[in-house]
Chain A
Amino acid sequence: MCFFDLPMETKQEQKYYRVFRKKLIELGFVMVQESVYVRTLPNRSQLTKYEEQLKRVTPYNGLVELMYVSEKQFNDRRFLTGEKAPQEVAVGNNKMVII
């Protein structure tokens, strides 16, 4: 899970934001809500690889946080309002995706 809050005041900062967000999507992260992105991985040893790649494009100011949760913990989220996006229902962390 990746949460971020990046400043968007100057043109330069906006560019950093765009590069960062693009990288997140390239690495397979999916937006669950604004500034909250999620990627499922098959095992713990893969984590570092993604973390390294993200580090390279992280802007120097702002706030970017990574949190590792197990599949079970993630699936046990409670929705006070709203529901899972169709993307998450169809793809989620299924081994086989049927569309």
Chain B
Amino acid sequence: MIKDGDYLRLKLDNLEIEKSGQKFSIPLSDIATITLEGNILTLTTKLLAKLAQHNIAVIVCDNKYVPCGIFTGFGQYHRTAKRNLEQIAWSEKLRDEVWTAIIRQKLSNQKSVLLAVDAEEERVEKLQELIDNIQLADATNREGHAAKVYFNSLYGMKFTREQDSLENGAMNYGYTIIRAYMARLVTSLGLIPTLGVFHRNEFNSFNLVDDLMEPFRPLMDWYILEKILPKYPKYLTWEARCQLIDFLNQPYFYRGRRQRLI
């Protein structure tokens, strides 16, 4: 996370950050993502090229500190063409199955969040019922219904994702951080981020990324409920934003094994 630095440049495979006369350097091979904030930072093209080669995702924030751009490597995977052809050949059936699995995981993660925050039993049961009724490719949009049950249990009956509130701000910020990291993974594996399994928005260049990040959203929701909202109740301070980015360093359990995103 870099705020109002003066210069970013490349120095012998290290990222050199200059800030008020002080220089810091970090080996590129140790970096996964960089978040840039503030208006007066200058960086070199040579550095950007090297960042892309090392598959480092750069997240740029606007003047309201909201992440608004992602820069990722392109075509760095050694068998990009092969992967691309395979990806284009994905069958409808395969995509539907993948999407079903993604949605099932997402909803069950949402259920775990509700259990973790001691939501009303009735609501958890309702969510479980929705999970049980998921059809192939989520044809009946259980996901949408679940989202309503889920968010209303967390933040009250009046809550919608469109409101201009702290909760939504935190979620939008947090999701962008996950999205950038996922975009880095997708491009580094030679996949085409625009070709999704479910998301097919013609204006979206990260359809596949948006598919794959779905199950991670509830993890972020829980993180926000646990670490951000109680500590920073008014607005997303600098510390709160740093903490949101630090989400990527949290361990989590997958199939009983302790893992890290990064």
Query: Is B24 touching A99 in the complex (CB atoms < 8 A)?
Result: yes
Residue A87 contacts which of B5, B24, B27 (CB distance < 8 angstroms)?
B24
A22 CA / B12 CA spacing, docked (Å): 7
25 A-B contacts, Cβ less than 8 Å apart? A25-B12, A25-B13, A25-B14, A26-B13, A26-B14, A27-B13, A28-B29, A28-B30, A30-B25, A39-B27, A87-B25, A91-B24, A95-B249, A95-B262, A96-B1, A96-B245, A96-B246, A96-B249, A97-B24, A97-B26, A98-B3, A99-B2, A99-B3, A99-B17, A99-B24
Q: Which residue of A lies closest to B238 (CB)?
A: A98
Residues from chain B with a CB closer than 8 A to the CB of A90 are 24
A86 at the interface (CB under 8 A from B): yes
Q: Which residue of A lies closest to B248 (CB)?
A: A96
Query: Is A98 touching B1 in the complex (CB atoms < 8 A)?
Result: yes
B85 at the interface (CB under 8 A from A): no
A94 CA / B4 CA spacing, docked (Å): 20
B19 at the interface (CB under 8 A from A): yes
B22 at the interface (CB under 8 A from A): yes
Q: Which residue of B lies closest to A88 (CB)?
A: B24
List which B15-36 residues lie within 8 A (CB) of chain A.
Answer: 17, 19, 22-27, 29-30
Residues from chain B with a CB closer than 8 A to the CB of A97 are 1, 24, 26
A85 CA / B27 CA spacing, docked (Å): 17
- Tell me the minimal C-beta distance from A88 to chain B in angstroms: 10
Q: How many residues of B contact A (CB 8 A)?
A: 24
B242 at the interface (CB under 8 A from A): yes
Query: Is B19 touching A98 in the complex (CB atoms < 8 A)?
Result: no
Residues from chain A with a CB closer than 8 A to the CB of B2 are 99
Given known contacts A26-B12, A90-B24, A96 and B242 CB-to-CB distance under 8 angstroms: yes
Q: Which residue of B lies closest to A22 (CB)?
A: B12
Measuring CB to CB, which residues of chain B are less than 8 angstroms from any residue of chain A?
Answer: 1-3, 5, 11-14, 17, 19, 22-27, 29-30, 242, 245-246, 248-249, 262
Known contacts A96-B245, A96-B248; 14 additional CB pairs below 8 A are: A25-B12, A26-B13, A27-B27, A28-B14, A28-B29, A86-B22, A87-B24, A90-B24, A95-B262, A97-B1, A97-B24, A98-B1, A99-B1, A99-B17
Q: Is the interface of A mostly helix, strand, loop or mixed?
A: loop
Instruction: Kindly supply a per-residue 1/0 record for chain A positions 19-47, scoring 1 wherever the CB is within 8 Å of any chain B CB and 0 otherwise.
Output: 00010011110100000000100000000
Query: Is A86 touching B24 in the complex (CB atoms < 8 A)?
Result: yes
A95 CA / B220 CA spacing, docked (Å): 18
Given known contacts A28-B27, A86-B22, A91-B24, A98 and B14 CB-to-CB distance under 8 angstroms: no
A99 CA / B30 CA spacing, docked (Å): 16
- Tell me the minimal C-beta distance from B150 to chain A in angstroms: 29
A96 CA / B22 CA spacing, docked (Å): 19
Given known contacts A28-B30, A30-B25, A91-B26, A99 and B14 CB-to-CB distance under 8 angstroms: no
Residues from chain A with a CB closer than 8 A to the CB of B249 are 95-96
- Tell me the minimal C-beta distance from B35 to chain A in angstroms: 9
Residues from chain B with a CB closer than 8 A to the CB of A95 are 246, 249, 262
A99 CA / B246 CA spacing, docked (Å): 14
